[in-house]
Chains A and B, each alone.
Chain A
Amino acid sequence: MTRPTVALIDDDAAIREAVSSLLRSVDLDVLAFPSVAAFLEDKAALDADCLLLDIRLPGQSGLDFQTELQARGLRAPVIFITGHADVPMTVRAMKAGAFGLIEKPFRDQDLLDAVHAALQNDRQRREAERLMKALQDRFATLTERERQLMPLVASGLLNKQIATRLGVSEITVKVHRANLMRKMGAKTLADLIRMSDRLTPYTQG
């Protein structure tokens, strides 16, 4: 398994170096940038598992940056480091989807806990995304008839009922159904029902 990567953005070189060292000491990879602009230009950084940034970045405030990240479809959790967090700022950051807010000066453990929690969250998100992607990929291999069949099977109709509904023979339904179960990798009807539920937003589309 590859080591998680944290992208760090802070305009102060000394802080950048210190935090980088701290993160590396717990076996995290770090990509450090002095500015948002520099970060956005780095393709590798866009894949980081967690973003750690100063809320008072020059040129563009951290909160604006977060909005931009979302617009770009980057969903890595963001942890803000702030000199003096106030309630409105915290609320804004959280509403904008920040994973956490760490106030300077911070204890190293607090920062690392926040980063680890963010990475854990990111892993789960990525896993969920991976599963969904696999599901969608399998769904993509279905024929028109099989896709038509899937919600009907999942809703618990018998082959006979489905055959009547679709105006085909019961044998045909049986064959399609076997193909559907195989292609989707569903071992039981319950598996297929779960998959159908997950895919609902996509199938309805």
Chain B
Amino acid sequence: MEASSGEILAANRAAEDFWGYDAADLRGRPLSDLVDADSVEAFLGAAREGRNFAANSVTIRQISGASHVVTCAARAVHGAWALAFREPGRIGPAHELRRLNYALNAYARSSAALMQTGETRSVMEQVCRAIVGQEVYVLACVALPAADGAPWLDYAAAAGPATGYLDGLRISASAELAEGQGATGMTLRSGAPHLIRDTRKDASYALWRERGARYGVRSMVSVPITVAGATVGALLVYAARPNAFGPTELNLFWRLCQAIGLALTMEQDRRRLGQAEEARRLAEARASAANAQWQRVSRLSFIGEFAAALAHEISQPLGAIEINAQAGLRWLHRPAPDLGEAGAALERIGRDAKRAHEIVARTRAMYRGETAAAPFDLREAVEDVLVITRERCANDRIALEVALEDVGLVLGDRIQAQQVVFNLIANAADALGDVSGRPRHLKVTIRRQGDKALACVEDDGPGVAAEAAERLFDRFFTTKPQGLGLGLPLSRRIIEAQGGRLWFEPVKPQGARFLFTLPLA
């Protein structure tokens, strides 16, 4: 101690335990930080006069804010002053206390690592058990504000022979309630430790005196637990003897409370992380919902594309109906009405109207909910399509070769699968339209392949250029002047939606082959 300024030059381990500051932290501090002003004044006066100093009731203030009355003796050592502080009237033999100190110290040091990983509650319980391992302490507990907002504190952890003391114990943090006027209440509000040195004498313990007497509680201390500077709870330690808490013990409890605070901070961090994780999961769920939305939209646009194609298709029979009606009237209005021709026109009107209806029915099928996968006979479905396409092939002088194996039932949407087959045949016929001077061949086959049905539409037309082959299934890619570039991408989507695959293979020396699979039912 440097006398002129009252600044601390050095401090030993005992001083660290006494005040709770590290030795390094104590160095350079004014004595007035640690000891009451009157005592500082008295000491400095004595020092200036070069005489030794001794006082029986010096009040020290700990890092935790707790105060203790101790004795102090100061003497000059090599131009500085050595001050020795001693606790007066300690209970119990010195070696017992030392053992306690060691045990708690060891615990405090080792627990830091433990608290980083352990559950807060189990950390609290371990702390409490460690404290009551000393028989002078009959109860140690951690009190936290009730999660449900009730005025009474919860006891998150407790240990010791007097645990029954807590049954029905009402302590509050509120200044408004009588139960908030005890040591614990004050600690929770002030953030500083509070001591009840003797439960029989301390007025602030009056409310619990009877209970204390039942469990043999003679002194107690409440030490604040803080998280990020805020007091969130208190460690309560009850002793069987009065005045059982010296500055050293209080400092140990203070450190333990910091460890508990750290554990709580960790837990909050983990919870925050958990919330972040939850937020991430939520975002993912939202993204997947967006994906579903996208799929719905793409399905809608698919339906839109299909509707456009069907609208084009339906305009054909409607146009034919209109022209037939006009032609029919002209046959009737001739000088000699030709009833035969007029009748034929009417028949065509009926037939074309039926075709228009079929297209409308197909459109409806496209609009109904999800893809309706049901077992159907693929051979029969393809044969139906061939009925429609045979005429086109005959008109275009295309030699149609059909080899339909009985593959049994496949799983999928019959109408959509037919649309794909129709599309592939129409494509092949279009490609063959460019062929002149040699026969044109179109081959439609289906066969079984493992657990799938394999359908194949092959032509010996000009085939597909390598660079075009790569883009065949891109939307709006087309090599046809009148093409929309939708047929193949739509067909692929239809087949894939039904658990199949659709792909292209070039044919040597010329031609194109489109294949698709559908799962067997």
Contact = CB atoms under 8 A, between A and B. Distances in A.
B191 interface: no
Contact of A25 (B315, B331, B351, B392): B331
A90 to B, nearest CB: 16
Interface residues of A, number: 29
A25 B65 CA distance: 115
Chain A CB within 10 A, most for which of B323, B327, B331, B344: B323
B316 A19 contact: no
Contacts of B429: 58
Contacts of B481: 56, 61
A73 interface: no
Interface in A12-60: 12-15, 17-19, 21-22, 24-26, 34-38, 40, 56, 58-60
Contacts of A22: 323, 326-327, 330
Nearest to B345: A21
A203 B352 CA distance: 58
A12 B320 contact: yes
Interface in B230-249: none
Contacts of B480: 58
Contacts of B328: 21
Given A15-B316, A15-B320, A18-B323, A56 B395 contact: no
Given A60-B433, A104-B319, A18 B324 contact: yes
Contacts of B284: none
Main secondary structure of the interface of B (DSSP, over half): helix
B278 interface: no
A127 to B, nearest CB: 28
Given A18-B348, A34-B392, A61-B482, A12 B330 contact: no
Interface string A52-81: 000010111100000000000000000000
A11 interface: yes
B184 to A, nearest CB: 87
Nearest to B324: A18
B320 A17 contact: yes
Contacts of B430: 58-59
A11 B429 CA distance: 11
Interface string B179-217: 000000000000000000000000000000000000000
Nearest to B331: A25
Given A13-B391, A34-B392, A60-B433, A21 B324 contact: yes
Interface string B395-433: 111000000000000000000000000000000011011
A108 interface: yes
Interface in B290-316: 312, 315-316
7 A-B pairs closest in CB distance? A59-B433, A34-B395, A14-B320, A108-B326, A18-B323, A25-B330, A22-B327
5 contacts: A15-B319, A17-B320, A18-B323, A21-B327, A36-B433
